[in-house]
Structure 1
Amino acid sequence: MLWVKALHLIAMVCWFAGIFYLPRLFVYHAACDDQPGRERFKIMERKLYRGITTPAMIATLVFGGWLVSFNPQGYLSQGWLHAKLTLIAVLIAYHVYCGRLVKVFQDDRNSRSHVFYRWLNELPVLILVAVVILATVKPF
């Protein structure tokens, strides 16, 4: 069980690294005014999303599900896990939205400023803080 927990945490760290960095790339991409720079950002965004962030999300979900499978009745009866799973659902929606933004930038259809992406970058920070508190403190 401890190995599964370690793998879950490693995957989660990788997922959040991608989730934190991808919107930062959007900030720079939205502010970029030269074509070679925009093309470079397109490659970076695509590789980060498809090659690191999405596989890390899948691994996080697989290992998290595996952890719950060790004692499903025990875990699923605890309120903190329901709150955590709700936040994970929000994070998955955020992840999918970022994937759509990768496509928007890929097709040169971005209409938002770098300021929008700076604010967008804050949501996963709040989710991370809440998830870590829920998983460690288990307040309810």
Structure 2
Amino acid sequence: MLWIKALHIVFVTSWFAGLFYLPRIFVNLAQETPGATTERLLLMARKLYRFMTMLSVPAIVFGLIVAYLQYSTPDGMKLPGWLHAKLTLVVLALGYHHACGSLLKKFERGVNTRSHVFYRWFNEVPVLLLLAIVILVVVKPF
């Protein structure tokens, strides 16, 4: 069980590192005019998005295994309230991840209409998600 928890934490941390960094690339892409720098940033963004996606899968799988091992009973799953909230935030993180993929496609097609200021604010979302998730897991407020 501890190995699975450790792997879950490692993959979640790695996935969120990508969620923190990809929108920073978007900030730079929104400020750039098309050219060699833009192509290099797009290449970095594509590779990071693929890598983040690969990291998200084991993060979720190990998390589900931990939940199953810790909260399954002969009568079914008995999840505490804080875990319901955490899982909701994980679903939001997955939505954010897919939103990043959608924004990346817009940059690739050259149809981005948002400013670098939008992406600076957009970049704060995973910070808030991670903060709330960690508080729920450590404090278990309900």
Matches within 5 A, 1:90-109: 90-109=92-111
What is the aligned-residue RMSD (CA, Å)? 1.2
Closer/same/farther in 2, CA of residues 95 and 82 from structure 1, 3 Å limit = same
Number of aligned residue pairs: 139
Match of 2:89 in 1: 87
User: What are structure 1's unaligned runs of at least 5 residues?
Assistant: none
Higher deviation after alignment, 124-133 or 33-42:
33-42
Q: Which runs of 4+ in 1 moved over 2 A?
A: 71-77
Supply the distance in 2 between the matched residues of 1:61 and 1:86 (Cα, whole angstroms).
13
Give the match's secondary structure for 1:110: coil
Task: Give the distance between the partners of 1:73 and 1:133, measured in 2 at CA.
Answer: 23
Do 1:76 and 1:82's aligned partners in 2 also have CA atoms closer than 8 Å? Answer: no
Match of 1:116 in 2: 118
TM-score under structure 1 length normalisation: 0.95
For each residue in 1:81-119, what CA deviation from the matched residue of structure 2 results, as whole angstroms up to 9, or x when unmatched? 000000111111010000011111111111111000000
- Alpha-carbon contact 1:30-1:113 (below 8 Å) kept: yes
Contact 1:19 1:95 in 2 (8 A): yes
Residues 113-139 of structure 1 show CA distances to partners (whole Å, capped at 9, x for unaligned) of 100000000111011000001011111
Structure 2 partner of 1:3: 3
- Cα distance in 1 for partners of 2:97, 2:68 equals 24
TM-score in terms of structure 2 length: 0.94
Which residue of structure 2 lines up, in the alignment, with residue 71 of structure 1? 70
- In structure 1, distance between residues paired with 2:60 and 2:12: 9
Which consecutive residues of structure 2, in runs of 5 or more, have no partner in the other structure? none
| 1:6-17 to 2 correspondences below 5 Å | 6-17=6-17
Distance between the aligned counterparts of 2:5 and 2:138, measured in 1?
13
Distance 2:54 2:68 in 1: 21
**What do residues 50-108 of structure 1 show as CA deviations (whole Å, max 9, x unaligned)?**
1x211111111010011112133467430000000001111110100000111111111
